Each structure stands twice: as structure tokens, then as C-alpha cells.
Amino acid sequence: MILTLTPNPSVDHTLEVDRLVRGEVLRVRATRSQAGGKGVNVSRALAGAGIDTRAVLPIGGGGGAELVALLGDLPRVTVPIGGETRANVTVTEADGTTTKLNAAGPALAPEEIEALLGALDEELGRSPDWVVASGSLPAGIPDDLYVRVAGLAAAHGVPLALDTSGPSLATAAKAGSVSLLKPNHEELAALVDRDLPTLGDVTEAAREVLAWGNESVLVTLGGHGALLVTERDARWARGPRVRTRSTVGAGDSALAGFLAGEGPPPERLRQAVAWGTAAVALPGTTVPQPDDVATDGVSAATEPDPGWRIAPS
């Protein structure tokens, strides 16, 4: 079973337009509302593949009620809060360009933070195979929340996969003890405070993060695939080109694919890229189902060319 924690879940509204033109009245071709938040997306993807999962998340107000309804029968533990669960808006254009408007989310009181961690601690006592901590932190939560989560996971002997950004990523990564960090290219560059134009630069940055006491780093590179770096080696995989409908949640699907994969790390990496590739071909924050995923078109390299450019020159 894979447990997920989403401190700042959302209701995600997606609008599809031919082209986004600022200041104009536009015709919306399609709309959809889906349960969102990075950990929620991971659980949704896992559940769709028939993998046992449980999501831990705070819920509040009318937005929280809508989110619960959208979650359907997804196994979950909800912690009531006084604030209103946020709503995000994504605008996707016909050429795949995605514009995302993310609300900050409700402020959590100290007792609500402790209740959320208490619920997580109880679920960790059920010995899940992994715990995934994902997403931004709402107002009121200190940057070290994920450090506390790492401590709880270690106390129960459960490996932690962490997918966040900004100060919360820096604080947790520099504290060490994370089994799997999953930044994207831009988040890793911000974490080490330098540009990373080539695979060699990304690999070097990931090894710097490992030196802080973490076990492995899975870097998602958008259309350039993903790179897995451990103390032993670095491996890169890339999926086939697909028509992009929405990039929102693709990294979450990639992480779910990695955790759901069986076999050695190279095969898990191929699975991660296959799930991420499938996700970008789907609308909104739709997560791929098993029929959407194909590993046949995923190429992999044990020793990636360090000079291969993943950023414009």
C-alpha cells in the first residue's frame, strides 16, 4: 500500500480554449472539475492501476465538500479544518500550452497541523510500502513540515518519496533522510542555485543533493524524459513524442509510475516515463489508466550522454 500526504489539496477546474488571448472574450470548448493536489494525483493514478493507496489530506468549507465528492471512492483520511479548500484554474490551448492559476490555499492553525500529522502517524503505523509527501504548503505551515514527516516515516521504517518545491524542498533536502526526491528540472536548478543546461549538469546537481544524506533523486525533465540518480549510477529514459493536451499532473503520474513499477530501478524509471508521457496526452489533471500506458516506446540509457542539452543554448 502506498500512503500519500497532500497538505494543500485543491479542486482543479480546467478550461480548454483554442488560444488564450489576454483581454478578449473567449469561447471555452470543454470544461472539467477534478480532485487535485500532488499527493491526491499520485493516489488517483495508483488507484486507477489497481494499486492499494490511501490519501491523507485536510478538508474545509464548500470547496472541501466538492473535493470529497470528486474523490469518489478513493480511500482517504480527511482532517477537518476551519479554512476553505482552494480551487485552481487551468487553461489549456489547442497546441498544448498550459496556463495554471493556483490559489494559495487556506491557512492552517497549529492544532490543525498537529491533527494532520497525527492522522499521518496513525496511517504509517499500518506499515505502507511508501509514503509520498507532495505539493505546496498552505499558509501557517512552517517550511520544516516535510522534515517532520521524514522523521515520522523513519520512526515507522517507511521510505519517503518527496515532491515539493521552493523553501519546503530546500529545507527537507538539506536535512537529508529522504528515500526518493522528485524535483523537476526547474526545481532542481533552484535547489542548487544554478542553471542546468545538460544531462551532465543535472546529474552533478542530483549527486550534490545525495551528498546531503538522501538516497535517490528522480528528476522529471518534461519532454526530455526523466533521470534517476543514486549512489551507484545515473540512468536516463525518454518517452515517445505525443500530442500534448495538458502538462498538469504529469510529474505526479511519473512518480506514481515509478512507485508502482516492479523490478530493478531501470524498469521503474521506464515505467515512470511511460506514465508521465501518457498523462500529458490527457486533458486537465486526468491521470492515465493502464490502457493509456505503454513502455514499448520508452528508450533508456544506463550511461546517458552528459553533454546532451535539455535547455536552449
Phi, psi of 309 (to 5 degrees): -85, 135
Phi, psi of 271 (to 5 degrees): -65, -40
CA distance 199 to 236: 9
Cα dist. 182→150, 158, 199, 253 in Å?
A: 15, 17, 16, 12
CB 83 within 8 A of CB 61: yes
Nearest to 226 by CA among 132, 300, 280, 171: 300
Residue found by looking up cell 470544461 in the block:
31
Q: Give how far the C-alpha of residue 71 lies from the chain's centroid of Cα atoms, to the nearest Å.
A: 17
Q: How many residues does the chain have?
A: 313
CA distance 102 to 14: 12
Cα dist. 78→40, 43, 55, 67 in Å?
A: 12, 14, 8, 11
Concerning whether 252 is annotated as a catalytic residue, the answer is: yes
Nearest to 165 by CA among 133, 145, 136, 199: 136
| Residue 69 parent element (H or E) | helix 61-71
Catalytic residue among 201, 252, 291, 305: 252
The three-class DSSP label of residue 33 is strand
Q: Angle at the Cα of 58 (from 68 to 63), degrees rounded to 5? A: 45
Which H, E and C letters describe 121-163, residue by residue? HHHHCCCCCEEEEECCCCCCCCCCHHHHHHHHHHHHCCCEEEE
Catalytic residue numbers, as ranges: 252
